Structure 1
């Protein structure tokens, strides 16, 4: 890796190169975190939207929120019809996943914690709770207190839903880098057929989870630390 390649790799902003068909040719480390949250096609479409009308580069100042990220600008460049390159500039308000705190956490059974949160939620609602757990997931280290508090807030967002599905799974091919080490991701996904109202979701900034909210689904991703 030469100097310029290493410089791009260390950039704190996502940098992605696509082929003309939308296939990812290159992505730096920060872009890989983004791709854990956003589909490649969505980012490719974004690049096409802000691409210059002729060969060259174009920078647009935007106010764009994508899952845990907020961006204030985008640069798109292409010099031929085969490749297009994009750089997104993160706002200072973005949640920094690489600052996840993994100190002073204990080994815990994730299924027990989710079941506990479901039991507490059942007291407040008549919803039908559906469980979809991957039994192969081992016990791992996490901040149980922060997780159970956040999960309780998540279930409150589903108040009024008839069916609530809790899924616990290993994210294949996805990871997060913390202090230079790669960790696989365990995903706890709470979803419903109905659109939900996001209320009171305010996890600690230095906690050990990544929270993603959508119209009818909230996902908590946790590093698999054994």
Structure 2
């Protein structure tokens, strides 16, 4: 790994990072920031950045309660080393979930790759999609509700137009975890994206189904991201 590979860590960080240039334009943003900007105004973020910037070159962390739709943050760091660029990083609030024993009973130890491939097969029997699938085959088995996962995937697929070219990516989320019943679990990220606009009418229903399964649902006009706890 070389020094230039630092962007890999920024890109796979669940905390949004945005770099502005002197013209107030975005010079760089990571994937998490793309989802943030689907809920927040770019100019408002820039104003927040300037308002919390250190008076001299360097960086400053500020604890502040921020919420943009379903995204919640407890603080930001703003920094700059010259007058060319200024960056802001948001610190996402960790969600603590307390499922009941009855809720946990529906979770079965499962190979998520097999479950995803089955979901794709079931959906493509009815609709035509051009799918490019990239997965991490080394993801270990973990507990998940198979029936609810199939429901979620069916509704997610139906939010894309038949015939769309879809990119599906499944991998373990680097450096991110979630608390469930005072235990920390790693997260798997499943991302679905296309170049065309999605059908968003059922997003609230999908989000509700995800919440009942302790899955974070993030979506914008062209992309869906599911953060699934490895219970």
TM-score tier after normalising by the smaller chain length: 0.5 to 0.7
Given that 2:131 and 2:167 are in contact with CA atoms closer than 8 Å, whether structure 1 keeps it comes out as: yes
TM-score normalised over the length of structure 1: 0.61
Given that 1:185 and 1:222 are in contact with CA atoms closer than 8 Å, whether structure 2 keeps it comes out as: yes
List aligned pairs for 1:57-206, cutoff 5 A.
80-81=55-56, 82-90=59-67, 97-99=95-97, 101=99, 103-104=104-105, 105-201=107-203, 202=205, 203-204=208-209, 205-206=211-212
Partner Cα separation in structure 2 for residue 194 and residue 222 of structure 1: 25
Q: Where does structure 1 lack aligned partners over 5 or more consecutive residues?
A: 1-34, 54-75
Greater mean alpha carbon deviation, residues 124-133 or residues 166-175: 124-133
Q: Across the two proteins, how many residue pairs are aligned to each other? A: 167
TM-score normalised over the length of structure 2: 0.60
Greater mean alpha carbon deviation, residues 104-113 or residues 90-99: 90-99
**1:40 equivalent in structure 2:** 17
Given that 2:169 and 2:191 are in contact with CA atoms closer than 8 Å, whether structure 1 keeps it comes out as: yes
Partner Cα separation in structure 2 for residue 52 and residue 181 of structure 1: 38
Given that 1:142 and 1:208 are in contact with CA atoms closer than 8 Å, whether structure 2 keeps it comes out as: no
Given that 2:214 and 2:229 are in contact with CA atoms closer than 8 Å, whether structure 1 keeps it comes out as: yes
Structure with the higher fraction of residues in helix conformation: 2
Q: CA offset at residue 208 of structure 1?
A: 2.5
Alignment partner for residue 213 of structure 1, among 219, 226, 229?
Answer: 219
Partner Cα separation in structure 1 for residue 215 and residue 49 of structure 2: 34
Q: Where does structure 2 lack aligned partners over 5 or more consecutive residues?
A: 1-12, 19-32, 37-41, 73-93
Q: CA offset at residue 124 of structure 1?
A: 2.9
**In angstroms, what is the RMSD of aligned CA positions?**
3.2
Partner Cα separation in structure 2 for residue 161 and residue 134 of structure 1: 26
